[in-house]
Amino acid sequence: MPEPVDTSGSLPHPPPRPTRSTTPSAPRRGLPRIHRAWIVAAVALLALVGAAGFGATPGVLVTPLQEEFGWSRGTISLAISINLVLYGLTAPFAAALMDRFGIRRVLACALLLIALGSGLTVFMTQSWQLVLCWGILVGLGTGSMALGFVAIITGRWFVKQRGLVTGVLTAGGATGRLIFLPILATLAVGSGWRTASWTVTIAALAVVPLVVFFLWNHPRDVGVRAYGASEDEPDEPTPHPAAGRALAVLAGAARTKAFWLLAVGFAICGISTNGLIQIHLIPAAHDHGMPEPVAASLLALIGVLDVVGTVISGWLTDRVPAPLLLGLYYALRGGSLLLLPSLLDASAHPSLLIFIVFYGLDWVATVPPTIALCRTHFGTAGPIVFGWVFAAHQLGAAVAATAAGVIRDDMGSYTLAFTGAGLLCFVAAAASIGLSSRSPTDEDQGERTDEAGEGTDGHDGRVAAGSGA
C-alpha cells in the first residue's frame, strides 16, 4: 500500500496571490505619465508671458510720465530705446549662458533684475533714473528671457511637435500683453503709474520659485530623452564658454548670406512691432482722443489674436517653406501699416477693429519660420544665431521707438512713422523670399567646416556653410 504523500511541507510558502502591483497589466490602468518636456514648456510659457507683460509696460507709462514730470515723448522714448537695445544685445549672450550655466539660473537672475528695476522706478525723480531702471535693469532682465530662450527650449526638449511648441511659446508674448496691458493701464489711470510698477515687481518675483523647481536644464538631468527623440538620438555636446561662443558663432554666421537676410528682415520686424506699435500705439490713439484704457485694450486684443496667429504660424512652419511664409507676413503687415494713420480715431470703430484683427494675427507670426530658418542654416548653433538675429530686431525696435517719439514731437503726429514702417516691411518681404528653405549641402558644409569649425560652434559646421543659402 503506497504511503500517503505529505504535502504539508512540499511548498514551504504558498504561492503569492497576484496583486495589482505585480500584475503586468496594472500600469496600463493608471493615467498616462506626462513627459517632462511639457512641464518645462508650461513653465517657460509662464515666464515668457511675464516677460512680455514687463516689456510692454513702458507703452502704458509714456503719457503718465509725461504728465507728471513734463518729459517729452522723445526723452521717454530714449529710455525705452535703451531698454530695447539691451534687450536685443543681451539675447545672444543669454542663450550662450544658458548653454553654459543652465536655463534655470539665468532665468531666475533675469526675473530678479526685472523686479529690482521695476521696484526702483517708483522712487525716480529724473529722466536718467528712468534710463537706469527701465532702460538698463529691466532691459537686461527681459533680454535674458528673449526668443532665443524659446529656441533653446524647443531645440533641447522637443523633436516632435517642435514647430507647434515654438508657436505656442512665442505666443506667450501676446498672452502677456493680453493679461498685463489692460490691468496696468487701468492701474496707471486709477491708482497711479507707481502701482503699475509695483505690480510688475510682484509678478516677476512670483515666477522665480516655479523656474527654480520645475525648469530643468536638459532632458538628461531628469533621465529622459527629448519628446519624440529616438533612442539613438545623440546627446547635446558640451558647450564652449558663453561669451566666447556667442561671439564666435556671430563671426561665422556674419560670413553668410542667410544671416544678413534674416537680420535685415527681423530688424524691420522690430521697427514695425515692438518699437512702433507696442510703444506708440497707445499714445497715438490718445492723441486722437481715445482714452488710454480703451487703447490699451486694443493693444491687448492684438495680443489675443497674436496667440492664434502665432500658433497657426508654428503649425504652418512644419508644412510650408519658411521663406514664403516670412515674405507673405511682412507684405501683409506693410499694407496694414500704410492704412493705420487714416483709421485712428477717438473710438474703436469697425475699420480700426479690422486693422487690429489683421495686424494681431501677423504680429509675432514671423518668429516660428525665422527660428526654423536659423536651425536649418546653422544647425545646433541656431539658437545663438537667432539670438543675434533677434538683437537686430531689437536694434530696429530701438531706432523706431526713438524716431517715432521725435517725429511726434516735431510734426505733431505719427503719420510719417507709420507710413515709413509700412514701406520698410516690403523690403523685409523681399529679403525673406531671397532665403533658401533648405539646409546647406553636406559637400558645402564639409568644405567650410575647417574655416569656421570649432571657432563657431565646435560641433556643427553649418554656421560656415550658411553662405550657400
Confidence grade of residue 443 (pLDDT, cut at 50, 70, 90): very low
pLDDT at 439: 55
Domains and CATH numbers, the chain: 34-219+238-468 (1.20.1250.20)
Q: Where is average pLDDT lowest: 32-41, 55-64, 393-402? A: 55-64
Confidence grade of residue 448 (pLDDT, cut at 50, 70, 90): very low
- Mean pLDDT calculated for residue range 179-190: 80
Higher-confidence position of 246 and 105: 105
C-alpha cell at 100: 553654459
Alpha-carbon distance of 366 to 325, in angstroms, equals: 8
Confidence grade of residue 307 (pLDDT, cut at 50, 70, 90): confident
Alpha-carbon distance of 221 to 367, in angstroms, equals: 28
Confidence grade of residue 182 (pLDDT, cut at 50, 70, 90): confident
Higher-confidence position of 123 and 13: 123
Give residue-wise pLDDT tens across range 25-57: 444 454 457 888 888 888 888 888 877 777 767
Confidence grade of residue 148 (pLDDT, cut at 50, 70, 90): low
Higher-confidence position of 230 and 166: 166
One-letter amino acid for residue 302 of the chain: I
Closest CA to 66 of 300, 280, 275: 280
One-letter amino acid for residue 430 of the chain: A
Confidence grade of residue 467 (pLDDT, cut at 50, 70, 90): very low
C-alpha cell at 180: 498685463
Residue 133 has pLDDT above 50, yes or no: yes
Helices 193-214 and 162-190: angle between axes, nearest 10 degrees: 150
pLDDT at 185: 80
Q: Whole-prediction pTM value?
A: 0.67
pLDDT at 154: 84
Residues 6+ apart with CB under 8 A from 306: 171, 173, 174, 177, 360, 361, 363, 364, 365
Specify whether the backbone of 262 is left (phi greater than 0), alpha (psi in -120 to 50) or beta: alpha
- Mean pLDDT calculated for residue range 363-389: 86
The chain-wide mean pLDDT, for the chain, equals 79
- Mean pLDDT calculated for residue range 457-469: 39
SS (H, E, C) the chain: CCCCCCCCCCCCCCCCCCCCCCCCCHHHHCCCCCCHHHHHHHHHHHHHHHHHHHHHHHHHHHHHHHHHHCCCHHHHHHHHHHHHHHHHHHHHHHHHHHHHHCHHHHHHHHHHHHHHHHHHHCCCCCHHHHHHHHHHHHHHHHHCCCHHHHHHHHHHHECCCHHHHHHHHHHHHHHHHHHHHHHHHHHHHHCCHHHHHHHHHHHHHHHHHHHHHHCCCCHHHHCCCCECCCCCCCCCCCCCCHHHHHHHHHHHHCCCHHHHHHHHHHHHHHHHCHHHHHHHHHHHHHHCCCCHHHHHHHHHHHHHHHHHHHHHHHHHHCCCCHHHHHHHHHHHHHHHHHHHHHCCCCCCCHHHHHHHHHHHHHCCCCHHHHHHHHHHHHHHHHHHHHHHHHHHHHHHHHHHHHHHHHHHHHHCCCHHHHHHHHHHHHHHHHHHHCCCCCCCCHHHHHHHHHHHHHHHCCCCCHHHHHHHC
pLDDT at 329: 94
C-alpha cell at 445: 558644409
Confidence grade of residue 262 (pLDDT, cut at 50, 70, 90): very high
Closest CA to 272 of 404, 155, 378, 149: 404
Higher-confidence position of 404 and 227: 404
pLDDT at 243: 61
pLDDT at 37: 85
Residue 252 has pLDDT above 80, yes or no: yes
- Mean pLDDT calculated for residue range 143-165: 80
Residue 390 has pLDDT above 50, yes or no: yes
Give residue-wise pLDDT tens across range 76-116: 888 888 888 887 788 777 877 887 788 888 989 999 998 89
Give residue-wise pLDDT tens across range 197-215: 888 888 888 888 988 888 8
pLDDT at 221: 80
C-alpha cell at 369: 519660420
Confidence grade of residue 19 (pLDDT, cut at 50, 70, 90): very low
Specify whether the backbone of 228 is left (phi greater than 0), alpha (psi in -120 to 50) or beta: left
Closest CA to 53 of 280, 413, 299, 316: 299
Give bridge partners of residue 29 from the DSSP assignment. none
- Mean pLDDT calculated for residue range 4-17: 50
Judged on CB neighbours under 10 Å (0-12, 13-18, 19+), 12 is exposed
Confidence grade of residue 337 (pLDDT, cut at 50, 70, 90): very high
Give bridge partners of residue 158 from the DSSP assignment. 227
pLDDT > 70 in the chain, percent: 81
